[in-house]
Amino acid sequence: METRKHLAAERKKTCNCAQAVIATYADLAGIDEDTAMALGNAFGSGMGNMEGTCGALTGAAMVVGLATRDKLKSRKCMAKIMTEFQARNGATQCKLLKGVDTGQVLRSCDGCVADASELLEQDLF
C-alpha cells in the first residue's frame, strides 16, 4: 500500500487529529468519510481536554478496531503502535506532546498524525 501519512497530515488542516487519521483510512476501515468524521468528533485534543491520549493515536485505534474486527488482534496491534509512537516522540498524551506544562513541544499535531498513520500502515496493513 502506498503511504497515506502525508494525506492524513494535510487533512489535519481542516479537522482534529483523530478525524484526520480515521477519515484518511475510512475505506480500509469499512466506513464512509462522513461517518469517520462524526466518529472522531470528540477525540481531538486528547479526547477534548489534552489530558488524554493523542487524538492521532485514538484515530489509529478506531481504524485498527474497524479493520480487524478482532479484539485480540486489535489490542496487540495497538499496543505495538503505542509503544513505537512513545519511543519516537517521548509521549502518547496530548498534553505532554504539546508541552502544555513544560513549554517544550515534543511533536507537532501534523507530525503526530503522520507518525500515527505511518505506524498504522506499518503494523496493520
Q: What is the pLDDT of residues 4-55, one digit of tens each?
A: 999 999 999 999 999 999 999 999 999 999 999 999 999 988 887 888 999 9
- Across 17-56, b (16+ Cβ under 10 Å) vs e yields bbbbbbbbbbebbebeeeebbebbeebbbbbeebebbbbb
Specify the residue for cell string 477519515.
23
Q: Can you tell me whether residue 53 is helix, strand or coil?
A: strand
**Using one digit for the tens of pLDDT, what is the confidence trace for 88-111?**
999 999 999 999 999 999 999 999
pLDDT score, position 81: 98
pLDDT score, position 9: 94
Nine cell digits for residue 57: 493515536
Specify the residue for cell string 486489535.
74
